[in-house]
Amino acid sequence: MLVTRSRLAQDLEKLGLRPGGMVMVHCRMSTLGYVVGGAETVVRALLDVVGPKGTIMAYTGWQDAPPDDLGALDEEARRAYVEEHPPYDPRVALSSRDHGRVPEALRTWPGALHSGHPEAGVAALGPLADAITASHPYDDAYGAGTPYAKLVEFGGEVAMLGAPLETVTLVHHAEAVAQVPGKRRVSYGMPVLVDGERVWLTFSDIDTGEGALPYERVLDEQDYIEHIARSALAAGIGDGGPVGEATAYLFDGRGLLEHAVSWIEGTFLSGDAKDPA
């Protein structure tokens, strides 16, 4: 199927996007069909629907970040990264391929802003872009005061355009703010620019790779983010519909956050090994 900008815009409107809205977008281009114009067309269709008063954002990450575990490298390789890996610069650093093509299209869009975090950073475009991207903490980058918290604060939504439900990044925000002790944390090093100078920093955050909590005890091998997202849909938080050839979902950000926090706290504070959902 050839999928055009006008078709995408019509489908996005039917999904529930509205003029003046704020939306965080996750997109898997391959599921939409053959999009005439590629990722650029997806961004233009989103802008068509939210209009000049609307704001769109996407999780970018960093494609060429140094390895997470430098300690596993030999001394020469480790020194090469620490001494010569270029510092993170959101003006030129490519978005992670794992996040699809739309985040990179948005990052390089005229007028787009970036939150400046090398791993958890987002790009945003629209009237709220400056407020969303300002002051992204280096540590605890999914918690309070981050772009994810601001998405909820500003009444934003999360659109999954053919992207797997296991990629709903807002669930990491729920993990960060849920009042549960003993969260798994990770530390990693990356070079950044501080006052124009290259500095190697150590970052500290919840474990977003394996999960901040032992979800495997509750869900076995099922992905916890997908489970939480599906349980939110079952609870009436979010709607689904076609966008191009893909099945898409639109979640209310606050509703999804509150549901995820409730599920996490209910699971790990109750001491019950059974899934409460």
Tell me the two tokens of residue 33. 């069909």
pLDDT value of residue 1: 80
* pLDDT above 90 as % of the chain: 94
If one compares 27 and 274, the residue with the highest pLDDT of the two is 27
Q: What is the mean pLDDT of the chain?
A: 95
Cα–Cα distance, 277 to 183 (Å, whole number): 21
**CB hemisphere CA count around 71 (13 angstroms):** 3
d(CA 246, CA 31): 5
Closest CA to 36 of 9, 4, 1: 4
175-222 pLDDT, tens per residue?
A: 999 999 999 999 999 999 999 999 999 999 999 999 999 999 999 989
> Are the C-beta atoms of 55 and 127 separated by less than 8 Å?
yes
- Whether residue 71 has pLDDT greater than 90: no
Task: For residues 244-264, give the mean pLDDT.
Answer: 98
**Strand 22-27 to strand 157-161: parallel, antiparallel, or no bridges (unpaired)?**
parallel
d(CA 149, CA 58) in angstroms, rounded, equals: 14
pLDDT band of 270, cuts 50, 70, 90: confident
Q: Look at residue 274 in the predicted model and tell me its pLDDT.
A: 45
User: What per-residue confidence (pLDDT) applies to 275?
Assistant: 42
What backbone torsions phi and psi does residue 195 show, to the nearest 5 degrees? 55, 40
Q: How confident is the model at residue 273 (pLDDT cuts 50, 70, 90)?
A: very low
* pLDDT tens digit sequence for 84-119: 999 999 999 999 999 999 999 999 999 999 999 999
Q: The whole model's pTM is what?
A: 0.94
pLDDT of residue 103: 98
